[in-house]
């Protein structure tokens, strides 16, 4: 016997890959926001009022205020993304709204981009390319031209040895880097042996001993400005920092100060505290080839976007069928 239930209304805050939207339209009644830009809080409220499921992205601030108003219809917020720092999970839980995300499918791509930034900063990739583009030529090979620093043998400190941090460590090891990490909990002896990784219970102590720092932890209230001014000052002169996680984990003005002072050899940043706005001092440093800036593109592969969409569909379908969705996010567990 089949029951005819009305199609669930699924509102998308942003346009998703065509294949994903097409499949969603076969399964649900989909509402697509006509303007492909982040929704205002008022537009989000309206979308939440008329849908059973809201598909969000990192630029939608689903805060306690939005969630405290009665939204009798909304049952699920299905985030298109791994990070869920834009959603107040506690408030959603209190309102009886389930939240899901899309973990795992962007680990490898994000780790690739982290390595790309590590290579680009240490080997002056952007600067070299700019020299050719600006002048249309270059003085030719010279023994001292465009010297960078060798990666092999240097110490990489990974802050957050979750799935992405581990994927970074695997790649980094292949480049001859020595792996150090700080995490809330220590990895298994097997993982440590596989990666040749050294655990630092004290982040402060690790910072003082690494040549390169990679930020790979989620952004939560506990990791806000984890790399504070005091901690950034512990980094060795000549070391550099790469962030493909969230801008808020680093005290950005403090980082800019020490970059301007020339204490760090550089930085590779894919995320920013006030993104999409950029601190103009950072832009100046980038123009002087002292930092490399990217527009939050670490997970931006076509494959990742499709896999993320598939996960969103699976989460919605499972939830609709009365089961626990595979990627449910619970309060206190980022």
CA distance 84 to 170: 25
Write down the least CB distance from residue 144 to ligand 8YV, Å.
38
Q: Given the complex with ligand 8YV, which of 243 and 299 has the nearer CB atom?
A: 299
Q: Is residue 81 within the footprint of ligand 8YV (CB under 6 A)?
A: yes
Among 66, 67, 76, 80, binds ligand 8YV (CB under 6 A): 80
CB 164 within 8 A of CB 111: yes
Using CA atoms, how far apart are residues 34 and 148, in angstroms rounded to an integer?
A: 47
Pick from 288, 200, 282: nearest CA to 241: 282
How many residues contact ligand 8YV, by CB under 6 A?
9
Query: Closest residue (Cβ) to ligand 8YV?
Result: 81
Question: Does residue 80 sit in helix, strand or coil?
Answer: coil
Considering only residues 35-64, where is the footprint of ligand 8YV by CB under 6 A?
A: 57-58
Q: Is position 272 an interface residue for ligand 8YV (rule: CB under 6 A)? A: no
299 binding ligand 8YV? (CB under 6 A): yes
3-state class (DSSP) for residue 320: helix
Closest approach of ligand 8YV to the CB of residue 196, in Å: 28
Assess contact for 181 and 198: CB atoms under 8 A: yes
Contacts with 93 (C-beta within 8 Å, 6 or more apart), sequence order: 99, 330, 331
Binding to ligand 8YV by residue 106, rule CB under 6 A?
yes
Beta bridge partners of 243: 215, 269
Minimum CB distance to ligand 8YV, residue 292 (Å): 17
Q: Tell me whether residue 151 or residue 325 sits nearer to ligand 8YV (CB atom).
A: 325
In the complex, least distance from residue 327 CB atom to ligand 8YV, rounded to whole angstroms: 12
Q: Is 198 helix (H, G, I), strand (E, B) or coil?
A: strand
Q: Which spans of this chain sit near ligand 8YV (rule: CB under 6 A)? A: 57-58, 80-83, 106, 298-299
């Amino acid at each position: 016997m089949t029951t005819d239930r009305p199609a669930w209304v699924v509102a998308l805050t942003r346009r998703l890959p065509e294949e994903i939207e097409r499949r969603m339209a076969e399964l649900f009644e989909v509402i697509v926001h006509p303007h492909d830009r982040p929704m205002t809080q008022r537009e989000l409220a309206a979308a939440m009022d008329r849908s059973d499921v809201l598909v969000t992205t990192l630029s939608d601030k689903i805060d306690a205020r939005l969630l405290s108003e009665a939204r009798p219809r909304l049952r699920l917020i299905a985030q298109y993304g791994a990070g869920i720092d834009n959603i107040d999970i506690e408030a959603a839980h209190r309102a009886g709204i389930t939240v899901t995300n899309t973990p795992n499918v962007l680990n490898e791509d994000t780790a690739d981009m982290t390595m790309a930034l590590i290579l680009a900063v240490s080997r002056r990739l952007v600067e070299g390319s700019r020299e050719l583009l600006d002048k249309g030529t270059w003085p030719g090979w010279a023994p001292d031209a465009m010297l960078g620093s060798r990666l092999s043998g240097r110490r990489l400190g990974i802050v957050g040895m979750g799935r992405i941090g581990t994927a970074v460590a695997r790649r980094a090891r292949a480049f001859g880097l020595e792996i150090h990490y700080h995490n809330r909990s220590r990895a298994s002896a097997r993982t440590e042996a596989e990666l040749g990784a050294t655990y630092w219970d004290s982040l402060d102590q690790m910072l003082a001993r690494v040549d390169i720092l990679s930020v790979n932890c989620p952004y939560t209230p506990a990791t806000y400005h984890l790399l504070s001014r005091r901690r950034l000052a512990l980094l060795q002169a000549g070391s550099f920092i790469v962030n493909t996680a969230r801008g808020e984990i680093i005290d950005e003005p403090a980082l800019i100060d020490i970059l301007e002072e020339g204490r760090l050899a550089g930085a590779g940043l894919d995320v920013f505290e006030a993104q999409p706005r950029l601190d103009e001092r950072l832009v100046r440093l980038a123009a002087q080839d002292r930092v490399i800036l990217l527009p939050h593109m670490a997970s931006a592969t076509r494959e990742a976007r499709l896999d993320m969409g598939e996960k969103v569909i699976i989460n919605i379908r499972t939830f609709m069928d009365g089961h626990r969705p595979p990627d449910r996010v619970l309060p206190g567990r980022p």
